[in-house]
Amino acid sequence: MPFIVNHIHLKSRDPKATADWFVEAFKVEIVSDNVRPVGDRFIATRTEGGLTINISSERSGETLGPADANPHYGLEHFGFDTDDMDADLERLQGLGAELKEGPIANPGGATIAFIAAPGGIRIELIERQ
pLDDT of residue 115: 97
Distances (CA, A) of 14 to 4, 36, 40, 115: 29, 15, 11, 19
pLDDT of residue 1: 74
CB 15 within 8 A of CB 55: yes
Report yes or no on 19 lying in a domain. Answer: yes
pLDDT of residue 107: 86
pLDDT of residue 4: 83
Report yes or no on 70 lying in a domain. Answer: no
Question: CA dihedral defined by 6, 42, 61, 76, rounded to 10 degrees?
Answer: 50
CB 69 within 8 A of CB 120: yes
Report yes or no on 120 lying in a domain. Answer: yes
- Is there a single domain that holds both residue 16 and residue 46? yes
Domain count across the chain: 2
- Is there a single domain that holds both residue 12 and residue 45? yes
Report yes or no on 16 lying in a domain. Answer: yes
Torsional sign, CA 87, 125, 77, 28: positive
**Domain that residue 84 falls in:** 78-127
pTM: 0.90
CATH number of the domain enclosing 52: 3.10.180.10
pLDDT of residue 24: 97
Buried-exposed string 36-57: b where 16+ CB fall within 10 A, e elsewhere = eeeebbbbbbeeeeebebbbbb
pLDDT of residue 3: 79
Report yes or no on 64 lying in a domain. Answer: no
- Is there a single domain that holds both residue 89 and residue 50? no
- Is there a single domain that holds both residue 82 and residue 46? no
- The whole-number mean pLDDT for each consecutive block of 10 residues of the chain, a chain of 129 residues, reads 87 96 97 96 97 96 92 92 96 97 90 95 93
Three-state secondary-structure class, residue 79: strand
* Amino acid identity at 2: P
Three-state secondary-structure class, residue 18: helix
CB 116 within 8 A of CB 92: no
pLDDT of residue 84: 96
